[in-house]
Structure 1
Amino acid sequence: MDEIRRISANPRMSGAVVHAGVAYLSGQVAINHRGGALADQVDEVLARIDALLAEAGSDRSRLLTATIMLSDMGAMPVLNAAWNRWIAPGCAPTRTSIQAVLASPDYALEIVATAAAD
């Protein structure tokens, strides 16, 4: 039986769960830049994803899929500019972007990702 590893877990949820060579990341939001500029929120969320992927034995070049929830689809150009700088060349995952009501009006986006892991 494959081991299930939980990362940054609390009683409600885990930041990531690794099982059978796949890392499943929970939705990541900007904590430090909550309510701040969109570009700062995007950069923080991508950095949080990087940190969880590293802890899971993976990195952005091994992303399989990403679901991006935006509070306002008008944010897409800012998101795409940061995403294009961040994503590993030639390693774009599948991606879905939707407009959603997020857990707090201070959140501009939330990103859920899945990646291959060791």
Structure 2
Amino acid sequence: MLQVLERVSGKWAIGILLAAAHGPVRFTELERAVKGISRRMLTLTLRNLERDGLLVRTVYPTVPPKVEYTATEIALELYETLTSLTSWAERHRAAIADARTAYDRAAS
């Protein structure tokens, strides 16, 4: 269970899964959607999500090859939870930052 939670709660995985939930998405679209991710990290995260059954990679026989990633049923089920989690984090970001600052001040 811990391995699954670690995989889907990772900073990059959340962004990728949120982007892929709206239909097939190409590598370059994911690269633009997930701010700050390197090509290497995007590739590794996509492979891991595909291995875990959360994404399906489809390669079309075109020149150049067209590759799309689609969220699976289990990823779509997870989408609502991830959306709630990211909304919660956004709503409480300032309060958490304030709490960290107060804690660090008190610890000094």
TM interval, shorter chain, is under 0.3
Of the two structures, which has the highest relative contact order with CA contacts closer than 8 Å and spacing of 6 or more? 1
Larger strand share, 1 or 2: 1
Structure number with larger C-alpha Rg? 2
